[in-house]
Chains A and B, each alone.
Chain A
Amino acid sequence: MTAPLPGGVDCDLHPAVPHLTSLLPYMNDYWRDQVTTRGMVDLVSQSYPTNSPISSRPDWRPAQGKPGSDLADMQKQALDPFKVAYGICNPLYAVQMVFSEDMQDTFCRALNDWLVKEWLDKDDRLRGSIVIPTQSVEKSVAEIERCARDKRFVQVLMLVMGDIPLGKRALWPIYATAERLGLPIGIHAGSAYHNPPTSVGWGSYHIEDYVAQAQAFQTQLTSLIVEGVFARHPKLKMVMLESGFTWLAPFVWRLHKFWRGIRMETPWVDRAPMEIVQSNIRFSLQPVDAPPDSAVLHRLFDHMQSDELILFSTDYPHWQFDGNDALPDGLSSDLVRKIMIDNPLATYGRLKETVRA
């Protein structure tokens, strides 16, 4: 195994909301009443069924409750063993599923306030992502502005599969706000299930949904690049979380070839796709979709033509590796430093701000 370097940043941790009722203290009377009177049940996403093997490493599964729902477990299992200076919390509570923008807004606000109170306030290493109600761009912008006053929020979080492709102009006010406030947009695996979870329809199995996350990231990268998000917002960073990255190079080869052929359709795309990826897009380390052969992994890093794209992540408590093998075998010490420290600090500007403060 490759040893972790102390002082790194874990860019993908998943604190779990124990139950919808855990958010009641963060809602107003009307919504507390709605949740109770209407008999609303816990919001758990199909993407991560609680007992699915991918949803938690066996040795990280608590005796009771959801994996990732206990801070002491997260400290003991992720923050301490990987000796990180910071851990970024990306809650995957299924607030994106609901269709009412008012309900979604309430749940997002409650979730963000819950994260501050139950997690960020209790461990100085933790940082948060702002979960936004994408059913309403206006409300999303307001929620980003509300939360961003707390410098411990270092990113905005969206799911890779929503109602519309992420490059669509309707969403740009979200990106403008994030860019202005120095917040990267984190795009995490998962679907609101407002569209079929693959581009060829509904599959039969959970495993198909999970495999298809990678293809969803690919189509979103196409959308973000060709719609011109980064031509308009050159300082905006986006981080693909739990996306896999071994598909990146061949994906860009294909996009580049078509861009050369039909760029007249999107003339504002004035840089080659790989250049745009290198300046604006980052990827979390886990999962590493590659064989356990370090020679192959070296070739894959060579195909990406950059050592600045990957940010360290454990994806805690999801089961991506065993023991402390978060870093694949055979990485050079330079690359480990880049992945664990330099790249995350360069991506999440607010981490450096709080270091100074």
Chain B
Amino acid sequence: MNIQLRERPEAGAKVQAKVAIADCDIHPARATKKELYPFLAKRWHEHLETYQGHPYQGMMEGPPYPKAQPNASRRDAYPPEGGMQGSSLSFMQKQHLDPNNVVLGVLNPLKTGQGLRNHDLATAICSAINDWQIEKWTSKDSRLKGSIVVANEDGITAAKEIRKRAGDPNYVQVLLLSRNVEPLGQRRYWPIYEAAEEAGLPVGVHAFGFGGNPITASGWPSYYIEEMVGHSQCQQTALASLVLEGVFERYPKLKMVMIEAGFGWAPSLAWRLDRTWQRLKSEVPRVKRPPSEYIRDRIWWTTQPMEDPERRDHLFDVINWIGWDKLLFATDYPHWDFDEPSRVLPPGVSEANREAFYLGNAKQLYGIS
């Protein structure tokens, strides 16, 4: 992780020989704060100038756990024309999409309206981000596909935004974050799942977010590393909530993608859920099947940050328990913990599994031919 990359060759015949991949977690950024204004009503320009965002956290700007790099992004990813990492399409193409032969890139915009306490503002910013994704990215590079971001705490309004975008081929999923005011299975979020299912779009749940809850069940820890590792525990409880609230029974066609929260924990969580459910199923009658079955059938997992045990057979055990058909390769470009495509998968994987891992599963899930 955080590899110092040497100068990469320009896109060309030699580079094209690389195996085609999908990158299911790319973070497009705005070059300037005002880049979103053309997509926002005038009322919100003034509001933002006066009050800014008002999130579920203390600081107006910047995270309370300072990142290890500016913007948590690679130092070599600043575009030559200026602006923050990930804010230039041409540089993203040159640095990442072309040399790594990314044929499908899924955009997961962060710093949207998600996690803002003013739900009207959240709705306006999310909708603007959705327009901006088409204008700046997907209409300019057909390899890129967008994610519909929604005001997560306002399920009804979020569902309207999803229905407004349904059927638009620029978008391949609905995007939520893992940390919200309540666990994601709670019914305030159900309209989002209903609309996503209706639109035939998977719901991606990306690590991170703001809901005001401490990132451990024992209060706020001290360090950035605890937040980073802790995303996987947040994701585990969010997924447990989805299963135990019966979301997958209620929305039988709903598919979800766990993004950037690891996958190594999935088997143990599923076994624990099954075991505990055997004892306590009378409390949750909406759950009709062993929890592990919902997880096996309905959940996909992006790979970055890839679990990295010393022994590769340990990694293969875990992937075999999850299913080779459920992993989606991702780099997290331009973030610092970028997984280099050529290095993540150890040798010893069959050609079919390798193809599924890097590309096939993503194309199938996201409906890309």
A→B interface (CB under 8 Å): 52-54, 160-168, 191, 194-208, 210-212, 214-216, 218-220, 222-223, 226-227, 244, 246-247, 249-251, 253-262, 264-266, 287, 289-291, 296, 299, 302-303, 319
B59 within 8 A of partner (CB): no
CB-CB contacts of B154-184 with A at 8 A, as 1s and 0s? Answer: 0000000000000000000000001111111
B283 near A207 (CB under 8 angstroms)?
Answer: yes
Q: Which of A54, A265, A319 has the most CB of B within 10 A?
A: A265
B223 near A211 (CB under 8 angstroms)?
Answer: no
B-chain residues with CB within 8 Å of residue A244 when the two chains form the complex: 268, 272
Give CA–CA (A272, B182) in the complex, Å: 34
Give CA–CA (A206, B308) in the complex, Å: 34
**Contact status of A211 and B272, CB under 8 A, knowing A222-B226, A249-B309:** yes
Give CA–CA (A80, B271) in the complex, Å: 30
B264 near A253 (CB under 8 angstroms)?
Answer: yes
A-chain residues with CB within 8 Å of residue B267 when the two chains form the complex: 246
A258 near B229 (CB under 8 angstroms)?
Answer: yes
B-chain residues with CB within 8 Å of residue A250 when the two chains form the complex: 262, 264-265, 268, 307, 318
A197 near B226 (CB under 8 angstroms)?
Answer: no
CB distance from B82 to the nearest CB of A (A): 27
Give CA–CA (A160, B184) in the complex, Å: 23
B214 near A265 (CB under 8 angstroms)?
Answer: no
CB distance from B313 to the nearest CB of A (A): 8
A200 near B216 (CB under 8 angstroms)?
Answer: no
B225 near A53 (CB under 8 angstroms)?
Answer: no
Nearest CB in chain A to that of B65: its residue: A265
B268 near A165 (CB under 8 angstroms)?
Answer: no
Interface residues of B in 224-250 (CB under 8 A from A): 224-226, 228-230, 232-234, 236-238, 240-241, 244-245
Chain B contributes a number of interface residues (CB within 8 A of A) equal to 68
B336 near A289 (CB under 8 angstroms)?
Answer: no
A-chain residues with CB within 8 Å of residue B222 when the two chains form the complex: 165, 167-168, 223, 226-227
A206 near B264 (CB under 8 angstroms)?
Answer: no
Nearest CB in chain A to that of B272: its residue: A289
B308 near A256 (CB under 8 angstroms)?
Answer: yes
Give CA–CA (A68, B115) in the complex, Å: 45
B280 within 8 A of partner (CB): yes
**Contact status of A207 and B280, CB under 8 A, knowing A164-B219, A200-B184:** yes
B305 within 8 A of partner (CB): yes
B68 near A208 (CB under 8 angstroms)?
Answer: no
Nearest CB in chain A to that of B307: its residue: A253
B234 near A200 (CB under 8 angstroms)?
Answer: yes
Q: Which of B181, B186, B233 has the most CB of A within 10 A?
A: B233
Give CA–CA (A53, B284) in the complex, Å: 13
Nearest CB in chain B to that of A257: its residue: B308
Give CA–CA (A141, B240) in the complex, Å: 37
Nearest CB in chain A to that of B214: its residue: A195
CB-CB contacts of B280-301 with A at 8 A, as 1s and 0s? Answer: 1011100000000000000000
Give CA–CA (A205, B229) in the complex, Å: 25
CB-CB contacts of B204-228 with A at 8 A, as 1s and 0s? Answer: 0000000101111111111111101
A-B interface, 8 closest residue pairs, ranked by CB to CB distance from nearest: A250-B264, A219-B216, A289-B272, A215-B233, A198-B237, A247-B268, A246-B268, A207-B280
CB distance from A228 to the nearest CB of B (A): 10
B33 within 8 A of partner (CB): no
A-chain residues with CB within 8 Å of residue B321 when the two chains form the complex: 296
Contact partner of A54 (CB less than 8 A), chosen from B216, B221, B276, B336, is B276
A-chain residues with CB within 8 Å of residue B211 when the two chains form the complex: 200-201
B16 within 8 A of partner (CB): no
A200 near B182 (CB under 8 angstroms)?
Answer: yes
B275 within 8 A of partner (CB): yes
B-chain residues with CB within 8 Å of residue A262 when the two chains form the complex: 68, 224-225, 228
A287 near B275 (CB under 8 angstroms)?
Answer: yes
B-chain residues with CB within 8 Å of residue A265 when the two chains form the complex: 68, 223-225
B-chain residues with CB within 8 Å of residue A165 when the two chains form the complex: 216, 218-222, 226
Nearest CB in chain B to that of A288: its residue: B275
CB distance from A304 to the nearest CB of B (A): 10
Nearest CB in chain B to that of A214: its residue: B272
B271 near A195 (CB under 8 angstroms)?
Answer: no
B-chain residues with CB within 8 Å of residue A227 when the two chains form the complex: 222-223
Interface residues of B in 303-337 (CB under 8 A from A): 305, 307-309, 314, 317-318, 321, 336-337
**Contact status of A208 and B226, CB under 8 A, knowing A247-B269, A253-B264:** no
Nearest CB in chain B to that of A252: its residue: B309
> What are 9 inter-chain pairs, A to B, with CB distance below 8 A?
A161-B217, A195-B217, A198-B217, A200-B213, A201-B182, A219-B215, A249-B264, A258-B225, A261-B336
A196 near B245 (CB under 8 angstroms)?
Answer: no
Give CA–CA (A284, B181) in the complex, Å: 33
**Contact status of A211 and B218, CB under 8 A, knowing A249-B309, A303-B309:** no
B229 near A199 (CB under 8 angstroms)?
Answer: no
Give CA–CA (A272, B68) in the complex, Å: 19
B217 near A212 (CB under 8 angstroms)?
Answer: yes
B-chain residues with CB within 8 Å of residue A202 when the two chains form the complex: 182-183
Nearest CB in chain B to that of A244: its residue: B272
Contact partner of A226 (CB less than 8 A), chosen from B2, B178, B226, is B226
A-chain residues with CB within 8 Å of residue B245 when the two chains form the complex: 204
Contact partner of A211 (CB less than 8 A), chosen from B240, B265, B309, B317, is B240
A-chain residues with CB within 8 Å of residue B318 when the two chains form the complex: 250
CB distance from B62 to the nearest CB of A (A): 16
Nearest CB in chain A to that of B271: its residue: A289
